[in-house]
Structure 1
Amino acid sequence: MSLPLSVLDFAIVREGVSVREAFLESVELAKTAERLGYERVWYTEHHNMSTIASAAPAVLIAHIATQTERIRLGSGGVMLPNHSPLTIAEQFGTLAELHPGRIDLGLGRAPGTDQAAVRAMRRDARAAEAFPQDVRELQAYLRDQSLVPGIRAIPGAGTDVPLYILGSSLFGAQLAAAYGLPYAFASHFAPDALEEATAVYREQFQPSEQLDKPYVMAAVNVIAHDDPDVARQEWEWTKRNRVKSMLTRGRGGFQSFTDQDMDVLMASPAAQQILHMLTYTAVGDRDAVRSYLGDFAERSTADELMIAPFGSTPEAARDSLRVLRDAWGR
């Protein structure tokens, strides 16, 4: 296979693990990805979630950049309605000056949280409506072509950090196409519009200073192991853990359930909706995941695959990266 492979990291806070330990696990995942030849690692922005510690992607990127040497690092993404464009230009401009040639800036329109957290961040709930204008303002700061008279991003100006539009609907596809930017589809949790959105993006793409032809990145979950039975066990754990964490989100952390409780919960309509989010998940040994991802790449017309590695332990997640890399080739 010739498509580049990259990694999406949520800085997962596993049950019984501290936030600091979660960050240490993210460092090891990035080191593993670098050693195995993955293209980049991106970090998500989520807030008010007890199981995800990536609330401040720029800070996390800064730390992990000092622990790695070559691999590109970026946001997957910064939820721009939560921030002023100038602030993000300064943050990622700082990163680009410290680690030239290694920083990406993926941008999303969703808040990455609930409305209570949006209010706590002092942001207007209607800020998402200004997303297209905010992207242009941010891009201009990074190019040292500010659209705001008298304002420059220092640092940031002239770094021209590459921008990527993240999305799970036609809106993001159309915006990325109109602006001539790479488009990353969040099919790892929002599978329904994948084919339509990537087709629209390719059909409507307009070349830009950053990009002369369409570039699609598609996210997919991967659970890989040399033993397919172990991979299937990890898949069952992942499904149950995802349902438990999402249905108890905002209730003060992890909740205790018996196996019987979980069996009932897994059969509920709410659980089925959550499991639908995991539609695009490759599970199995090297041959199985290679075959699945080959089909997925064709379906999504992807130029690059963004891998979300799952597992009951950090070692299992890193093992998924190893098995996939061995299967995919270098």
Structure 2
Amino acid sequence: MTIPLSVLDLAPISAGSTPQQAIRNSIDLARHAESLGYHRFWVAEHHFVKVASAAPATLIGLIAAATESIRVGSAAVQLGHHTSISVVEAFGTIDALYPGRLDLGLGRSGHRGDQLRSAGVPPVPAPGRPTEVRDGVVIPPPFFPGQLLDFSRVRAGLGALHLPGAQPLPYTDQIEDILALLDGTYVTPDGVDLHAIPGEGADIQPWLFGSSGGESAQLAGRLGLPFAANYHVSPGTIVETVEAYRNGFRPSARFPRPYLVVSADVVVAEDDATAQRLASTYGHWVYSIRSGAGAAEYLDPETAPPLPDQQRRLVDDRITTQFVGSPATVAGRLEALRKLTGADEIVVTSVTFDHADRVRSHRLLAREWGLTPQVRAA
């Protein structure tokens, strides 16, 4: 039986386009994803960069209003930028009108490279293991956060997102507070009962997201929550991430066994050569992120020059683990990823310069994967 396939959207802004058009494109893609039979449609959270998903709860509400049945959610709300109550109330407000459709994906926030550098960790790690292929899945060396070239914008962005002097709570504490607010069992440290209205009792499914075998994977396991492992962000750590979640899993009322989603970055076209051309500026985009400048506008493959070798070396792990090709090529690689990780579901993200190419990519993959098209109500 084919496992579910879902969509993660970053609301990318193409060169020459606008944030307003990117948001319209995301809503259009969500409608297509629903009609094509995708199971979920998730949006990311990014700030001060050339993607339009800075306010995930707002965007999720717009997408829920524009669709009928597909699950919608965050991948993920960056908890260091929000209070627990603001997250629960925002999602509770959406659930009031679209009950039973929301996935509340929660993730850590803030780049840890500053902490690594201030602690004296070298910006480039010692040579590690070489790239390997396990059962058809490329596993490159892990990317080390200290390899970012410039942290000035990261520091400035984090400063702008936080109130002066404010410090985020420990991640585990925030997760537990959010679960308590949803359940109606939240009590302040000084013993006062508080209730999230709206939010308490909402039919919202919490998820945790992670790119390593650290706190997020372990906490999702301990709490018996579903977990999303970010192969598309950190392909070099996928095996230990999945193992940490599974090894630490404790059954919960809703999930008697682990439920794992694994992400992949894909570009699908009618043939391998066309897909490779459409994906040829992906490395430029990833380099803009890893240079420290943040995600830039996505470049037109027809006019952008090739990525210089020195820049490519910084992003080679992401280029080699992007799933690019014909429907059969990409579906075959996704199946290999499923087998390696034991994923219960795959979530795909796709970035192309032309929105029509992105829609076509999802359509071709849905057909090859065997998704059942949905008919919207009249």
TM-score for the superposition, normalised by structure 2? 0.80
Q: Provide the residue aligned with 2:183 in structure 1.
A: 143
Question: Deviations for 1:40-92, whole angstroms, at most 9, x for unmatched residues?
Answer: 1111111111x211010000011111111111100000001111101101001
In 2, the alpha carbon distance for the partners of 1:173 and 1:197 equals 6
- Match of 2:213, as an amino acid? L
Please state if 1:40 is matched with 2:53. no
Note if 1:59 corresponds to 2:58: yes
Q: Is the 8 A contact 1:191 1:279 kept in 2?
A: no
- Partner Cα separation in structure 2 for residue 228 and residue 281 of structure 1: 13
Q: What residue number does 2:130 align with?
A: none
Residue number in structure 2 paired with 1:202: 246
Instruction: Give yes or no for the alignment of 1:10 onto 2:10.
Output: yes
Instruction: Provide the alpha-carbon RMSD of the alignment.
Output: 2.5
2:222 counterpart residue number? 178
Residue 236 (str. 1) matches residue 277 (str. 2): no
CA distances 1:172-220 after superposition (whole Å, capped 9, x unpaired): 2111101111110111121111011101211220012332110111100
Q: How has the CA–CA distance of structure 1 residues 46 and 267 changed in structure 2, closer, same or farther, with 3 Å as cutoff?
A: same
Change (3 A) 1:56 1:261: closer
Conserved? CA contact 2:4–2:38, under 8 Å: yes
Deviation for aligned residue 1:151:
1.3
More helix by share: 1
1:167 aligned residue (181, 202, 210): 210
Letter in 1 for 2:157: A
Tell me the alpha carbon deviations over residues 282-314 of structure 1, each in whole angstroms, 9 at most, x when there is no partner.
Answer: 111111111111101112221110100222211
Indicate conservation of the 8 Å contact 1:11/1:26, yes or no.
yes
TM-score, scaled to structure 1: 0.91
Q: Which amino acid aligns with 1:44?
A: A
- Asked if the contact 1:118/1:125 (under 8 Å) is kept, the reply is no
Aligned residue in 2 for 1:303: 344
- Structure 1, unmatched stretches of 5+, are none
Measure the CA separation in 2 of the matches of 1:256 and 1:36: 27
Give the number of equivalent residue pairs: 325
| Match of residue 156, structure 2, among 116, 136, 156 | 116
Cα distance in 1 for partners of 2:282, 2:299 equals 16
Provide structure 2 residue ranges, at least 5 long, that are not aligned to the other structure: 112-152, 372-378
Matched with 2:266 is 222
Match of 2:106 in 1: 107
SS in structure 1 of the partner of residue 279 of structure 2: helix
| CA drift at 1:122 | 1.9
Corresponding residue to 1:154 among 197, 200, 218 = 197
Secondary structure of 1:162's partner? strand
> Structure 2 counterpart of 1:174, which letter?
Q
The alignment-based identity, stated in percent, is 33
Cα distance 1:166–1:233, how it changes in 2: closer, same or farther (>3 A)? same
The structure whose RCO (Cα within 8 Å, separation 6+) is larger is 2
3-state SS in 2 of match to 1:6: strand
